[in-house]
Amino acid sequence: MIPKIKDFPAELKLPVFFLSLYCIFGPFVNLAYHISKKGIGIENALRYYFGSEEEMIPPQSLVSFLEVMHFHTWAQLSVIFILSSLVALSSAGRKIKIFLILSLFISSIGHIFLPSLVRFVSQKLIYLLFLDTVFFSASIIFSAIILLKDVFSKKE
């Protein structure tokens, strides 16, 4: 039988607790970072990706996207794998687990690739990028809340 997080001893619950805290606050740090770089709104995000001659802002290059994608592909994969593995060990229902695991991985892929698709394929994808960012952040936060619930639950 696969163990549940609520049945873990304290020394295993402690890392789950701290990972959950990081996962709850991480999306807010990410939001603050993106607002500081791009500003708020669709027009500001498009200006960030495409540049602005009037404001002497250069457009994002393919190399700059590849630099970000290179790091995020492996770093996000590691965190999402750990988070989704812990969600699988949670006491949440099977459908919720499957939904969260799929949403974490699919929205993570969107988070990595959509910015370059906005820049090099279609500006209209910016709306999908915003939706993906909200969905990705919500999936992370909701997963972390489920884990925290199990960390503070008693053994059965």
pLDDT tens readout for residues 112-149: 899 899 889 999 999 999 999 999 999 999 999 999 99
Q: What's the distance, CA 111 to chain centroid?
A: 7
- Range from 5-9, 13-17, 64-68, 98-102 carrying the lowest mean pLDDT: 64-68
* pLDDT value of position 156: 64
Alpha helices, DSSP H, located in 92-124: 94-120
**Over residues 8-31, mean pLDDT:** 93
Contact between 115 and 79 (Cβ < 8 Å): no
- Cα gap 86→113, rounded to integer Å: 25
* pLDDT value of position 88: 96
- Cα gap 60→116, rounded to integer Å: 9
Contact between 111 and 132 (Cβ < 8 Å): yes
Which amino acid does the sequence have at 84?
Answer: S
Residue 103, pLDDT above cutoff 90:
yes
CB within 8 Å of 97: residues ≥ 6 apart:
87, 88, 90
- Cα gap 48→60, rounded to integer Å: 7
pLDDT tens readout for residues 47-97: 888 888 888 888 888 888 888 888 888 899 999 999 999 999 999 999 999
Contact between 143 and 87 (Cβ < 8 Å): yes
* pLDDT value of position 95: 98
Q: For residue 9, give the DSSP letter.
A: -
pLDDT tens readout for residues 27-51: 999 888 888 878 788 888 888 888 8
Tokens matching residue 77: 């994969």
* pLDDT value of position 73: 86
CB within 8 Å of 108: residues ≥ 6 apart:
76, 77, 80, 136
The domain ranges of the chain are 7-151
- Cα gap 74→82, rounded to integer Å: 12
Contact between 50 and 119 (Cβ < 8 Å): yes
- Range from 5-19, 45-59, 98-112 carrying the lowest mean pLDDT: 45-59
Residue 155, pLDDT above cutoff 80:
no
User: To the nearest whole number, what is the mean pLDDT of the chain?
Assistant: 90
